[in-house]
């Protein structure tokens, strides 16, 4: 990947142009993005379903499970979109490979962000 091979021009865009660019991007790579989504959504739903068949109080554990899998999906999506900017095809395998290389840094940063989200959540409960 070289910067000279970049397929997206860096320029100021209006909201309409950003939405238009996003729609074109999703149209071109919807299948791979759907596979990435299934890779995270199916295990999360199955895990919540299995746990809820054994436990009755599942609100907090379900929220935590979906928070974890949404963070994994976001990381996989970012790992897949990065090479796409340089003209490569969106690849689920490539995204998983890139995610594995940066797993520990991702885990540290995600834990830090989720911790501060947890703390800031108390601002809504106890102003």
Q: What pLDDT, in 10s, does the model give residues 68-85?
A: 899 899 999 988 888 887
The first and second tokens of residue 10, run together, are: 């860096």
Judge whether 86 and 5 are in contact, CB under 8 Å.
yes
Q: How many alpha carbons lie under 13 Å from residue 73 in its C-beta half-sphere? A: 19
When mean pLDDT is compared across 11-15, 51-55, 69-73, 119-123, the lowest value belongs to: 119-123
Judge whether 90 and 37 are in contact, CB under 8 Å.
no
- Average pLDDT rounded to a whole number, residues 7-19: 83
Q: What band does 2 get if pLDDT is binned at 50, 70 and 90?
A: low
Q: What is the pTM of this model?
A: 0.76
The first and second tokens of residue 116, run together, are: 């501060």
Q: What pLDDT, in 10s, does the model give residues 32-51?
A: 899 999 999 999 999 999 99
């Amino acid at each position: 990947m070289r910067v000279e091979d970049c397929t997206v021009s860096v320029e100021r865009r209006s909201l309409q142009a950003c939405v238009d660019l996003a729609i074109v991007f999703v149209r071109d790579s919807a299948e791979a993005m759907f596979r990435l989504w299934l890779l995270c959504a199916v295990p999360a739903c199955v895990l919540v379903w299995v746990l809820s068949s054994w436990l009755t109080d599942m609100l907090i554990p379900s929220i935590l499970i979906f928070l974890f899998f949404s963070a994994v999906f976001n990381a996989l999506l970012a790992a897949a979109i990065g090479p796409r900017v340089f003209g490569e095809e969106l690849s689920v395998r490539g995204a998983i490979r890139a995610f594995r290389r940066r797993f520990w840094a991702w885990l540290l940063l995600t834990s830090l962000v989720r911790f501060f989200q947890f703390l800031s959540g108390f601002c809504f409960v106890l102003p």
